[in-house]
């Protein structure tokens, strides 16, 4: 790490030692602030977010930093801006080149996600290298391999496959780029991705979406007739739901595809609320198998759906009943998953660490068959970024609600 970068990280680390609220305060800060502060306490150097070895340009730090930037916008607190900017300053070269393992030729949609926070940082700083990095990620999407109908492959190494995850990673970025840099075709392309994914992955009976679709039917996990994977994994649908409400931010009112996205969101919300756990208000790891042996209430899917329902209702994309479902879910998240240490650090428990589809056993990789048994046996951990980031975003939505529906800080 360059000396200048070390100095910046140290400065950020020192700044984080200042509490956000007085120790004798009557009421704690909002949950969004409390979790953002907890992230920074657990990982004072943002370059170490979700890093097992070297710092990584990856979707997980990008998800958390997008949420931290949203807290910065809400509070105006410079500490959050500095924390996010330290990551990007460490990852982006003067020419906009991206470090941390990024390679455009991998055509990996996951690696587009960290670019989302750059739109806000560029608008705030006018730093040329941020704009150049955004252009680099846009260049990847121009060349991203596609299905015959124009749907993005999730990664080059997963030929002919569209995954629900990829809709969150790439489409909101693409739509925002189109709005920010006057490229209407990018907005059109983003809309197309959702339409294609729903067309091929939606189950007509339940309205739920399968995790993946293989146009070629070559994968062992793909149904020979439909190309769909076998199960309804909660977080996969959570990614898709978050992506929809975020993409709608950048699709103009008069755009011919906006009505299609709104219709997809309404169908999705109805299906999601239909499988919301009646007792807890949250969601299961495999959505349509409540109480089945091995299944469990899972935090990342729950925070993602909560964010999408609350935001969708607040902006008028969904009616008020979905806002009520989101508020019930948020209360369930606090009850089921959130704990606060004696020192005031907020933990989010019971997050599925990772899940995917396929793999190459010849290279020593485990093959992920997408079955119920596969999903319920993946590792579970606390404070995984895939739950923490959406929890912050869902909390911001609760805090933006009218007074009776505001999140209650409490003293958990």
CATH number at residue 169: 1.50.10.10
Please indicate, yes or no, if residue 337 is contained in any of the structural domains. Answer: yes
What's the Cα-to-Cα distance from 19 to each of 22, 79, 407, rounded to whole Å? 7, 11, 21
What gap in Å lies between CA 64 and CA 50, rounded to an integer? 10
Q: What is the pLDDT of residues 36-49, one digit of tens each?
A: 999 999 999 999 99
Q: What is the pLDDT of residues 254-272, one digit of tens each?
A: 999 999 999 999 999 999 9
pTM of the entire predicted model: 0.92
Determine the pLDDT at residue 401: 75
Please indicate, yes or no, if residue 412 is contained in any of the structural domains. Answer: no
Active site residue 37: no
Please indicate, yes or no, if residue 410 is contained in any of the structural domains. Answer: no
Strand partners, 357: none
Q: Please tell me the total count of domains within the chain.
A: 1
Determine the pLDDT at residue 405: 43
Please indicate, yes or no, if residue 21 is contained in any of the structural domains. Answer: yes
Q: What is the pLDDT of residues 124-159, one digit of tens each?
A: 999 999 999 999 999 999 999 999 999 999 999 999
Average pLDDT over all residues of the chain = 92
Determine the pLDDT at residue 274: 98
What gap in Å lies between CA 146 and CA 189, rounded to an integer? 12
Q: Is the pLDDT of residue 24 over 60?
A: no
Please indicate, yes or no, if residue 166 is contained in any of the structural domains. Answer: yes
Name which of 66, 62, 70 is nearest 91 in CA terms.
62
Take residue 333 and report the two structure tokens written for it.
């998240």
What gap in Å lies between CA 332 and CA 320, rounded to an integer? 19
Q: Is the pLDDT of residue 320 over 60?
A: yes
Please indicate, yes or no, if residue 30 is contained in any of the structural domains. Answer: yes
Q: What is the pLDDT of residues 359-391, one digit of tens each?
A: 999 899 999 999 999 999 999 999 999 999 999
pLDDT (average), residues 89-96: 98
Please indicate, yes or no, if residue 391 is contained in any of the structural domains. Answer: yes
Range of the domain at 298: 3-405
* Polymer length of the chain: 412
Are 221 and 357 a contacting pair, CB within 8 Å?
Answer: yes
Q: Is the pLDDT of residue 2 over 60?
A: no
Determine the pLDDT at residue 53: 87
Percent residues over pLDDT 70 in the chain = 91
* Helix and strand counts by DSSP (H, E) for the chain: 14, 6
The neighbour count for residue 331, using CB atoms within 10 Å, is 17
Q: What is the pLDDT of residues 273-316, one digit of tens each?
A: 999 999 999 999 999 999 999 999 999 999 999 999 999 999 99
Catalytic, out of 37, 45, 165, 214: 165
Q: Is the pLDDT of residue 397 over 70?
A: yes
Please indicate, yes or no, if residue 95 is contained in any of the structural domains. Answer: yes
* Furthest C-alpha separation in the chain: 63
């Amino acid at each position: 790490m360059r000396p200048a970068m070390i100095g910046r990280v140290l400065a950020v680390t020192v700044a984080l030692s200042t509490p956000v609220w007085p120790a004798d305060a009557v009421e704690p800060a909002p949950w969004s602030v409390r979790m953002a502060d907890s992230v920074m306490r657990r990982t004072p150097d943002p370059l170490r977010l979700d890093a097992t070895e070297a710092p990584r340009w990856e979707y997980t730090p990008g998800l958390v930093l997008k949420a931290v930037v949203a807290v910065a916008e809400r509070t105006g607190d410079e500490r959050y801006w500095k924390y996010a900017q330290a990551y990007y300053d460490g990852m982006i070269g003067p020419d906009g080149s991206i470090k941390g393992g990024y390679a455009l030729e991998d055509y990996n949609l996951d690696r587009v996600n960290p670019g989302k926070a750059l739109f806000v940082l560029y608008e705030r700083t006018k730093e040329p290298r941020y704009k150049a990095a955004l252009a680099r990620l846009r260049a990847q999407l121009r060349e991203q391999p596609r299905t015959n109908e124009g749907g993005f492959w999730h990664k080059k190494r997963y030929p002919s496959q569209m995954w629900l995850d990829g809709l969150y990673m790439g489409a909101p970025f693409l739509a925002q780029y189109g709005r920010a840099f006057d490229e209407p075709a990018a907005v059109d392309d983003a809309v197309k991705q959702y339409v294609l994914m729903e067309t091929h992955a939606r189950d007509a009976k339940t309205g739920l979406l399968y995790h993946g679709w293989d146009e070629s039917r070559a994968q062992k996990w793909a149904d020979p007739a439909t190309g769909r994977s076998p199960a309804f994994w909660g977080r996969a649908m959570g990614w898709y739901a978050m992506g929809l409400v975020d993409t709608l931010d950048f699709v103009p009112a008069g755009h011919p595809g906006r009505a299609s996205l709104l219709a997809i969101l309404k169908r999705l919300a109805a299906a999601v609320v239909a499988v919301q756990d009646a007792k807890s208000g949250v969601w299961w790891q495999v959505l349509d198998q409540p109480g089945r042996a091995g299944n469990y209430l899972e935090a990342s899917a729950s925070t993602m759906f909560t964010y999408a329902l609350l935001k969708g209702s607040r902006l008028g994309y969904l009616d008020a009943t979905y806002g009520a479902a989101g508020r019930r879910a948020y209360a369930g998240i606090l009850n089921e998953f959130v704990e606060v240490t004696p020192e005031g650090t907020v933990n989010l428990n019971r997050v599925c660490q990772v899940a995917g589809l396929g793999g190459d056993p010849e290279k020593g990789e485990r093959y992920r068959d997408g079955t119920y048994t596969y999903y319920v046996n993946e590792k579970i951990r606390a404070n995984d970024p895939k739950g923490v980031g959406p929890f912050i975003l869902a909390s911001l939505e609760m805090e933006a609600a009218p007074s009776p529906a505001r999140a209650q800080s409490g003293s958990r």
